[in-house]
Amino acid sequence: MTFSGVMWLPWRCAPGRVSACAVRRVFTSALRRRSSCSPAAFLPEAAGFQGVKDRATLHEYSLSDSQGFWGAVARHRLSWIRPFDTVQDCDLRQGRIKWFEGGKLNVSVNCLDRHVHTCPERVALIWERDERGSEVRYTYRELLEMTCRLGNLLKRHGVKRGDCVTIYMPTCPLAVASMLACARIGAAHNVVFAGFSAEALAERIRDAQSSIVITMDQGVRGGKVVELKKTVDAAVESCPMVRQVFVGLRTDKPVAMAARDIPMEEEMQKEDVVCEPAVMDSEDVLFLLYTSGSTGKPKGLVHTQAGYLLYAALTQRSVFSYQDGDVFGCVADIGWITGHSYTVYGPLANGGTTVLFDSTPIYPDPGRYWDMVERLKINQFYGAPTAIRLLLKHGDEWVNKYDRSSLKTLGSVGEPINTEAWEWYHRVVGEGRCPVVDTWWQTETGGICIAPKPSEADAEIIPGMAMRPFFGIKPVLMDTEGKTLTSNNTSGALCLAQPWPGMARSIHNNHQRFIETYCLPYPGYFFTGDGAYRSEEGYYQITGRLDDVINVSGHRIGTAEIEDVVNQCPAVAESAVIGYSHNIKGQGVYVFVVLKKNVDVQEADLSKQLNSMVSKNIAKYACPDFIQFVQRLPKTRSGKIMRRVLRKVVERDLDSLGDLSTLDDPAVVQEIIQGHRQLLSK
Ligand code: PRX
């Protein structure tokens, strides 16, 4: 294991230099005093925990008596049909992760029925449609009704407990009802981001072995129509296992319907509004969610029922200081884990009101988010650094036009937030009075693992740092030899030393890959794939991926996935994809291509072709920003591509190319530098 993959992004503090780079500390109260906040302020159920007097001792307790801590939280926060017998049975060495065994529950009951009993007319969803000012509200009663009708419809079409339903929809109430309907009848869902191409969708349908797909006729995003049904039609051509496609309506334009297609709303109206919830075991699968790894094949991470829901609910409430009656605005798409945990499951398990954002940050203008905050009176806003950087460039006036006095907490997720964007978010958007929480986590972790909050009201928050591990989370830094780094002011591979309820249990159909990726690199620890820096004070800052995964606009993509597509082009002999720092997207995609001998093509034409191949096979966001044609790639004598050299070239960090003596022919480096300069000067 080496750290050669650590990207140094210029706008970020270099690992090991956080204190020195004089980041301004922000206190959420003007007075800096040590408060002795009662643990009940963080967690009411902590009142009975022995010796717990503040946040730090509560965190220690959550690690030293993990059973006591999680047992109490699970009893307090979830509604069980049958109580669990054991809190956990985990062995990270073996990849065995089981929580709350013996317990039986239904996730949709936890997200809907129990709130319908107490406050049926409370708004569960506010659908912020693409057309500004046309938001639609759904109460808990209405959402339960929609979920039950859909659950019954799925059952009528043969969906059984344990089946997997693929959902290819934009962020909308019908999509949420589809997820919850699966949970209600005991089926797993597999939500595929509606920006993925037909090929990418088909690959995920096949891997999940879904016989049912749920989609919409069309989507509407940024004023443009997105042909969802057509994409599904193209995808299912290569998915013989698909029996039925349920089609919801979003636009008035009729779409072609085949024998297997079912008009969803029409059929739902025929169904009963009561649907008996399936009695699920804690460790039954709740959903699969595909994400990128360092190979060309995306992995379907498996999340289960009780532990996932508990962790999403607890973190949503405590990291953002969510209180009953607040409006929670997580603008992530439901196709990603952030949409699962903080648009759907966390807020609904807490009986909250959650916003479904179905547009873009700049449609119809760069004031969209803040206009929405004013209109919907959003209290917690949770977004991605890439959007913050984009909006910052459009200027303060787009923010100041709108009343943001409802805002209490601002969140950031998905990639590092640079200090400039953090400061702007805090000072301009939050008027200097809302804490900004930079939350670190992953599809694999299920929920937030490191974030500045919860903490005492007057505890410091350092810009651009996730800082504090959540309850039950024990971060550990490892050196290149696999030894634990115990001192502060140090960087290493970020591992988590104890299991927590929200973590993924497996990779669908490939538990061995799960063990090899997460459990074997540092036996006994969960390896996150990220590097981190621990400051003098013991706070954590994420420094970037250690593997060949890049992060484009907060979307994770394996470089190998893009290479696989590029290499399919008949003119291409081989390629290497590198992520480079991009001032809006966080990282951009840079492709080096070696052509086959005697190929006669115009580079410009081939670039266009490669772009459309990536868009068709993966998604638009994965398209290359730069394609450099080279005679050869820098390789070691054993034939391995030296990506480190390519990375240094695209980052223009030529002073630290490092040791080139193992290169087969060091002259290749100058060729590549020359070509890079020419490309940029075009
Ligand atoms: O590299 C880390 C980065 O995003 C990766 C996880 O991506 P994904 O599974 O798609 O989930 C994104 C939403 C949780 C991580 O391995 N990442 C996520 N949050 C942060 C981050 N990098 C730096 N700071 C963060 N706050």
Is 498 close to ligand 1, i.e. is its CB under 6 Å away? Answer: no
CA–CA separation, 300 and 571 (whole Å): 32
Give the pLDDT of residue 405.
Answer: 98
Residue partners of 28: CB distance under 8 A and separation at least 6: 435, 457, 458, 459, 461
Q: Are 5 and 546 in contact (CB under 8 A)?
A: yes
Residue partners of 187: CB distance under 8 A and separation at least 6: 154, 159, 160, 161, 162, 163, 164, 165
**Do 446 and 589 lie in a common domain?**
no
Could you tell me if residue 483 is inside a domain?
no
**Do 159 and 299 lie in a common domain?**
yes
Extract the tokens encoding 134: 């046309």
Identity (one letter) of the amino acid at 486? T
Going from the C-alpha of 585 to that of each of 12, 550, 556, 579, the distances in angstroms are 14, 11, 12, 11
**DSSP 3-state assignment of 460?**
strand
Query: Of ligand 1's atoms, which has the minimum distance to the CA of residue 417?
Result: 24
Nearest CA to ligand 1 atom 10: 556
Q: Are 388 and 421 in contact (CB under 8 A)?
A: yes
Q: Are 366 and 392 in contact (CB under 8 A)?
A: no
Could you tell me if residue 486 is inside a domain?
no
Give the distance (Å) from ligand 1 centre to CA of residue 554: 7
Query: Of ligand 1's atoms, which has the minimum distance to the CA of residue 545?
Result: 1
Given 507, 531, 565, the domain boundary residue is 507
Is 502 close to ligand 1, i.e. is its CB under 6 Å away? Answer: no
DSSP class of residue 276 equals: P
If we measure between CA atoms, which residue out of 18, 9, 334 comes closest to residue 172?
Answer: 334
Could you tell me if residue 494 is inside a domain?
no
**Do 161 and 47 lie in a common domain?**
yes
CA–CA separation, 187 and 161 (whole Å): 5
Give the pLDDT of residue 657.
Answer: 87
Give the distance (Å) from ligand 1 centre to CA of residue 217: 32
How many other CB atoms sit within 10 Å of the CB of residue 596?
12
DSSP class of residue 25 equals: P
**Do 461 and 602 lie in a common domain?**
no
Q: Are 532 and 477 in contact (CB under 8 A)?
A: yes
Could you tell me if residue 398 is inside a domain?
no
Residue partners of 541: CB distance under 8 A and separation at least 6: 13, 15, 18, 464, 465, 466, 467, 532, 533, 535
Q: Are 316 and 439 in contact (CB under 8 A)?
A: no
Give the pLDDT of residue 25.
Answer: 53
**Do 459 and 558 lie in a common domain?**
no
**Do 468 and 575 lie in a common domain?**
no
Residue partners of 134: CB distance under 8 A and separation at least 6: none
Give the distance (Å) from ligand 1 centre to CA of residue 272: 41
CATH number for the domain that contains residue 591:
3.30.300.30
| Euclidean distance between the first and the last CA atom of the chain, given in angstroms as a whole number | 38
Could you tell me if residue 418 is inside a domain?
no
Q: From its phi and psi, is residue 7 left (phi > 0), alpha (psi between -120 and 50) or beta?
A: beta
Vertex 398 angle, CA 395 and 401, to 5°: 135
Chain mean position to CA 398: 27
**Do 574 and 463 lie in a common domain?**
no
Pocket test for ligand 1, best of 338, 530, 546, 549 (most atoms within 8 A of CB): 530
Could you tell me if residue 371 is inside a domain?
no
**Do 216 and 329 lie in a common domain?**
yes
Is 542 close to ligand 1, i.e. is its CB under 6 Å away? Answer: yes
**Do 455 and 558 lie in a common domain?**
no
CA–CA separation, 126 and 328 (whole Å): 10
Chain position carrying tokens 């009993």:
117
Is 540 close to ligand 1, i.e. is its CB under 6 Å away? Answer: no
Give the distance (Å) from ligand 1 centre to CA of residue 440: 6
CA–CA separation, 121 and 137 (whole Å): 11
**Do 9 and 147 lie in a common domain?**
yes
Is 301 close to ligand 1, i.e. is its CB under 6 Å away? Answer: no
Extract the tokens encoding 132: 């500004």
Give the distance (Å) from ligand 1 centre to CA of residue 266: 40
Query: Of ligand 1's atoms, which has the minimum distance to the CA of residue 443?
Result: 9
Query: Of ligand 1's atoms, which has the minimum distance to the CA of residue 528?
Result: 16
Give the distance (Å) from ligand 1 centre to CA of residue 557: 11
Give the pLDDT of residue 3.
Answer: 33
Chain position carrying tokens 């209490």:
408
Give the distance (Å) from ligand 1 centre to CA of residue 442: 5
**Do 115 and 225 lie in a common domain?**
yes
| Residues spanned by the domain of 466 | 1-359+439-473+500-507
Could you tell me if residue 463 is inside a domain?
yes
Could you tell me if residue 485 is inside a domain?
no
Give the distance (Å) from ligand 1 centre to CA of residue 528: 10
List pLDDT tens digits, range 521-534.
999 999 999 999 99
Give the distance (Å) from ligand 1 centre to CA of residue 556: 8
Nearest CA to ligand 1 atom 11: 442
If we measure between CA atoms, which residue out of 280, 285, 343, 347 comes closest to residue 313?
Answer: 347
List pLDDT tens digits, range 90-139.
999 999 999 999 999 999 999 999 999 999 999 999 999 999 999 999 99
Chain position carrying tokens 């059984």:
160
**Do 461 and 558 lie in a common domain?**
no
Is 553 close to ligand 1, i.e. is its CB under 6 Å away? Answer: no
Give the distance (Å) from ligand 1 centre to CA of residue 278: 33
User: Which residues of the chain have a pLDDT value below 50?
Assistant: 1-24, 27-35
Give the pLDDT of residue 37.
Answer: 65
Give the distance (Å) from ligand 1 centre to CA of residue 265: 36
Is 647 close to ligand 1, i.e. is its CB under 6 Å away? Answer: no
Query: Of ligand 1's atoms, which has the minimum distance to the CA of residue 444?
Result: 9
Is 423 close to ligand 1, i.e. is its CB under 6 Å away? Answer: no
CATH number for the domain that contains residue 208:
3.40.50.12780
If we measure between CA atoms, which residue out of 245, 235, 180, 164 comes closest to residue 508?
Answer: 164
Query: Domain count of the chain?
Result: 2
